[in-house]
Amino acid sequence: MTTPRVTTAPAPWWRHIFRRPLAAVSAAPAPRGPAPTIRLENLTLGYDRHPAIHHLNLTIPAGELLAIVGPNGAGKSTLLKALAGELQPLGGAVHLPGRPASVAYLPQQSEIDTDFPITVFDLVALGLWREVGAFGAIGSIEADRVRAALARVGLAGFERRTIGSLSGGQFQRARFARLSLQDAPVLLLDEPFSAIDSRTTQDLLRLVVDWHCDGRTVVAVLHDLEQVRRHFPACLLVAREPIAFGATDAVLTRENLRAARHRSEAFDDHAPVCHRDPAEARS
Amino acid sequence: MSLDLFAIAAQPFVDFGFMRRALAGCLALSLGATPIGVFLLLRRMSLMGDAMSHAILPGAALGYLAFGLSLGAMTIGGILAGLLVALLAGLVARSSVLKEDASLAAFYLLSLATGVMLVSLKGRNLDLLHVLFGSVLALDDGSLFLIAGIASLTLGVMAVVLRPLVVECFDRGYLRGVSRWSPVVHYGFLVLVVLNLVSGFHALGTLMAVGIMILPAAAARLWVRRLGPHLGLASALAFASGYCGLLISFHADVPAGPAIILVAGLFYFAALILAPGGLLPRRLFGHSHLES
């Protein structure tokens, strides 16, 4: 695996008077703070008082690389939204210390207006929001970090393109670049590789594995079971409630997958919240 | 020959104070209202701006009923009515099955009817015309200061919140994830829209105020790809519309407000045909989405 290196032109002498040396920039940054352990406690999630997924009791250890799989409508995206703090639980709790600063969340593609006249550089630079805030300037150090992030996802030279001119795969690369600049200890990816060609998927998967090696916690909703088996050591199979959780090979068995399919089909969308004793739920 | 050009293009402004005031008013509008129009356009809220402009009418009319053609009363009434309708429409959209555009349309139609009814209760038809179509040629000191003040405030606020505003426009979910700016920017922007509509209302009337916001913004969008040039070009087009519109109104003796908006419309059609994002170049040179 080769990571593209950024070659930056030597900075003029006067820049060093005001700025840190550029060499400090290109090194891959370590995550801000250690990754926290994520704990779900009898968690029920849903919309308009109707649960979409319920009775989740599990602990995701720090630094885990976890795939969430399950049939369509199983509540995977809902769960991720709750982890990101965008959805208030109907019951139970998510314990994720340091939120929202500790979390970088990649929702499904549809939310960004790609007609907006903004460049790839500006889009990716938004990943630095927690450092530069709403008013801080993007100085040359920050600009170099943005270029380095773009180079890491294979988009070097795309800085001045508008986001509307990117293909689907290139756009997803740009979103990954922004995600990596957010530099969060916990990364939540919602179907990051859907509708993306295999080459792009391979490149972005490498980035995900790198994040894992940095000690970050990565939780990704995925559909490709082969991909999960090959790259993700841990897996959570859900179908409106957890079916199995643990080492991927032990989770993705034929029986578990069949059970997930049945459970999902039998679920009543309009059922009210059902209460189950946490102790009972854990057994 | 050059003297003729001067006589046509500059002499009216040299000779008449009301023309100079009108030009100053147009400059202020193009610096304040037009950038707001650009963001309305980019947020796909152009029609919402139109709706809001009608929503101002009953408030201004109530001010008029109580105090006659008073600048302060009509301004405050207009701002309050505009904000009220924006809030109500948002509230209805969040708590019923109606989407925001439907509830906004309902409110603004009612507002417009109420406003016209209120004005005609007391006023003469001339007053109604003044409210609906403005009086850019009769701007007094107070109106001019109000328009310039709102433009300055708009530019200042936009300069400060530009980054959150841009992110709110194209990736609201991300802004919500990384900061608490989203609601502040959303409602702050709505307040700016209402303020600028009231400002445009004094010069161009409720029916034309949106024109100076949206038409130059749409024309400029066809020419440029970046936000900065878009804002600059839109303002320039708006001011050019104001300038040409005033001259046409002066020489041809037609109402100034519609003349200004029609010139802006000409710029729009020119852009629609000639600009890179328009009809002709796209036909001739094919789809250009791979060029940078």
User: Both ends of chain A: CA-CA distance in Å?
Assistant: 44
The residue with tokens 């209202």 is B33
| pLDDT beyond 50 at A19 | no
- Interface predicted TM-score of the whole assembly (ipTM), two decimals: 0.81
Residue (of A92, A64, A40, A85) closest to A238 by Cα position: A40
Confidence band, pLDDT 50/70/90 cuts, at residue A33: low
Q: What is the rounded CA–CA span in Å between residue B272 and residue B280?
A: 8
Identify residue B246 by its one-letter amino acid code: L
pLDDT in tens, A114-124: 889 899 999 99
What is the model's pLDDT at position B287? 54
Record: contact A107-B161, CB cut-off 8 A: no
A53-62, A265-274, B19-28: least confidently modelled range: A265-274
What is the model's pLDDT at position A26? 39
Please list every residue in chain A whose beta carbon sits closer than 8 Å to the beta carbon of residue B292.
160-162, 165
Record: contact A112-B171, CB cut-off 8 A: yes
What's the whole-number mean pLDDT along residues A234-246? 91
Shortest CA distance from B182: residue in chain A: A134
Identify residue A52 by its one-letter amino acid code: A
What is the model's pLDDT at position A211? 93
Residues comprising chain B, all counted? 292
What is the model's pLDDT at position B52? 85
What is the model's pLDDT at position B93? 75
What is the model's pLDDT at position B286? 60
pLDDT in tens, A64-108: 999 999 988 888 999 999 999 888 899 889 998 888 788 999 988
pLDDT in tens, A186-208: 999 999 998 889 999 999 999 99
Q: How far is CA A18 from CA A13, A23, A128, B225, in A?
A: 10, 15, 20, 34
Residue (of B131, B139, B144, B147) closest to B58 by Cα position: B131
What is the model's pLDDT at position B74? 86
> What is the mean pLDDT of each successive set of 10 residues along chain B, which is 292 residues long?
79 91 94 95 86 85 80 88 85 77 81 82 70 78 92 95 91 87 89 92 84 94 91 97 95 91 95 88 63 44
In order of their start, the domains of chain B are: 12-273 (1.10.3470.10)
What is the model's pLDDT at position B53? 85
Shortest CA distance from B160: residue in chain A: A135
What is the model's pLDDT at position B80? 92
In order of their start, the domains of chain A are: 37-102+185-283 (3.40.50.300), 112-183 (no CATH)
Confidence band, pLDDT 50/70/90 cuts, at residue A16: very low
User: How many Å separate Cα A19 from the centre of its chain?
Assistant: 32
Please list every residue in chain A whose beta carbon sits closer than 8 Å to the beta carbon of residue B172.
111
CA angle B227, B54, B260 (to 5 degrees): 60
Q: What is the rounded CA–CA span in Å between residue A259 and residue A251?
A: 12
Q: Which of B171, B230, B290 to mutate to test the interface with A (most CBs of A within 10 A)?
A: B171
Q: What is the rounded CA–CA span in Å between residue A65 and residue A211?
A: 9
pLDDT in tens, A135-189: 888 889 999 999 999 999 999 999 999 998 999 899 999 999 999 999 899 999 9
Task: Respond yes or no on whether the N-terminal peptide bond of residue A29 is cis (omega within 30° of 0).
Answer: no
What is the model's pLDDT at position A20? 42
Between A168-182 and A198-213, two packed helices, what is the crossing angle to 10 degrees?
10
Using alpha carbons only, how large is chain B's radius of gyration in Å?
20
Please list every residue in chain A whose beta carbon sits closer than 8 Å to the beta carbon of residue B223.
none
Give exposure, A87-113, as e/b (b: 16+ Cβ within 10 Å).
Answer: bebbbbebebeebbebbbbbbebeebb
Please list every residue in chain A whose beta carbon sits closer than 8 Å to the beta carbon of residue B178.
100, 126, 129-130, 182
What is the model's pLDDT at position A21? 40
* B42, B167, B169 member nearest A126 (Cβ): B167
Q: How far is CA B217 from CA A54, B196, B210, in A?
A: 48, 15, 11
What is the model's pLDDT at position A14? 47
Please list every residue in chain B whose beta carbon sits closer than 8 Å to the beta carbon of residue A103.
177
What is the model's pLDDT at position A2? 45
What is the model's pLDDT at position A275? 65
Record: contact A112-B167, CB cut-off 8 A: no
Chain B residues at the A interface, defined by Cβ less than 8 Å, are 42, 44, 160-161, 163-164, 166-167, 169-174, 176-179, 181, 221, 224-227, 230, 289-292
Chain A residues at the B interface, defined by Cβ less than 8 Å, are 84, 86, 100, 103, 105, 107, 111-113, 116-119, 126, 129-130, 133-135, 160-162, 164-165, 182
More confident residue, A43 or B132: A43
Residue A39 forms beta bridges with which residues?
A: A59, A95
Q: What is the rounded CA–CA span in Å between residue A209 and residue A213?
A: 6
